[in-house]
A and B are shown apart, each in its own frame.
Chain A
Amino acid sequence: MSVDSSLKDDEERRHAIWIIVAAYNEAARIKTTLGGLTSLGYNIVVVDDGSSDATAEVAKTLPVWVLRHPINCGQGAALQTGIDFALSRGAEAIGTFDGDGQHDPADLPQMLKPVLDEEVDIALGSRFLGRAESIPLARRALLRAAILFTRLTSGLKLTDTHNGFRVFSRKAAQTIRIRQPRMAHASEILDQIAARGLSYVEVPVTIRYTQETLAKGQSTWDAVRISGQLLAGRFWK
């Protein structure tokens, strides 16, 4: 194989990789988050979920696709919009990445590898296999409870269930349909992985907590709401 054709293959491979960044009122952080991603050469889609600040305008100054929900629909809805867009553009692997900068773009190649090598349908990031920097005790306890909840409801034995860092193969992205518009989508994805028998692997990733990311994170009350939303989703399909 010539150097030219190898470079062409590499370019085509990168063009088949799409990273979805759902963002809501992230004008202050989105440039830093996207800066780390755009240098990797993948396709980036920012879904501005009805922000009242300049998130979309800031994103448009970078080489990324920008989609905008006119009103706030929730992270789950934003991710599905991004996934639909990526699939329509021929994506072969689709990653989801939080817009608040808590994920590390350096983890992307190892997240993509098992999916691109067709070893599994989905790679799920795990902060407990990797590193969770500055994670408060209460958040750790809440996430542990979520792990137990997932084990009981879906039967999946995971070490981290509410990590927004994931990579789907095209097949998995077409199979899974996120119908939970808000935070319950994380549990819904896992339920669908179990129900549809998709193969997965957990990959160690780093999550960095800051005061801003913690302020936007989930509380104990949110855990109750998520359980209610999941229950509602089972009643009204």
Chain B
Amino acid sequence: MTPFQWLAIPILGLLAALEVRAYFKNHQPIHILREFVWLLGITLILFPRLTTVLALLLGIGRGTDLVFYSFMLLSTGGMFYLYGRNYLLKRDVIELIRRDALRNATAGAGLDIQADERVRHSQGQQGES
């Protein structure tokens, strides 16, 4: 085994073990997907020629190109996923900000709040009748 294999495989092995533990804790399918990624990493580091075999099967030619293309595709997918998470998070933050703004509405100088309340009251009565 090469020094890189000695370094990378224990780390990936630890991540794979933690993933199994996490899956048995909460049974979320995402852990299965991640486990697959860690195991694939271990396999390809242990048997580097496998990437070349796979690349030839896919018509790419070189194993390094296959790794590079896969990395590009996964990065793009990851960015898309993070953008979506960020988008939804922002929406939730805005909703919280909105609630705060509505709770703390302030009447400007000279605003006749009493007249406003009178009209609201009379509208309420019309609605009931």
Contact = CB atoms under 8 A, between A and B. Distances in A.
A70 interface: yes
Given A59-B108, A69-B97, A88 B115 contact: no
Contact of A235 (B84, B105, B122, B123): B84
A126 interface: no
B84 A64 contact: no
A233 to B, nearest CB: 8
Interface residues of B, number: 28
Contacts of B128: none
Given A67-B101, A70-B100, A84-B102, A60 B109 contact: yes
B116 A66 contact: no
B104 interface: yes
B119 A15 contact: yes
Residue of B106, B116, B120, B122 ringed by the most chain A CB atoms within 10 A: B106
Contact of A16 (B100, B106, B123): B123
A149 interface: no
Contacts of A71: 97
B91 A69 contact: no
A88 B103 CA distance: 11
Contacts of A60: 106, 108-109
B94 to A, nearest CB: 5
Nearest to B91: A179
Contacts of A59: 108
B101 A65 contact: no
B111 A68 contact: no
Contact of B122 (A12, A89, A236): A12
Interface of A is mostly: mixed
A39 B58 CA distance: 73
Interface string A176-197: 0001010000000000000000
Contacts of A81: 97-98, 101-102
Contact of A63 (B97, B108, B119, B122): B108
Contacts of B83: 232
A206 B98 CA distance: 31
B1 interface: no
Given A11-B119, A15-B116, A62-B110, A85 B97 contact: no
Nearest to B116: A15
Most chain A CB neighbours (cut-off 10 Å) among B84, B102, B119: B119
B105 A62 contact: no
Given A16-B123, A69-B101, A179-B91, A43 B116 contact: yes
Given A66-B106, A181-B94, 4 more contacts: A43-B116, A70-B97, A70-B101, A77-B94
A-B pairs, 10 with minimum CB distance: A15-B119, A63-B110, A63-B111, A67-B101, A64-B108, A60-B108, A66-B106, A81-B98, A77-B94, A236-B84
15 contacts: A11-B115, A12-B122, A15-B119, A62-B109, A63-B109, A64-B111, A65-B105, A66-B105, A70-B97, A73-B94, A73-B97, A80-B98, A84-B102, A90-B123, A181-B90
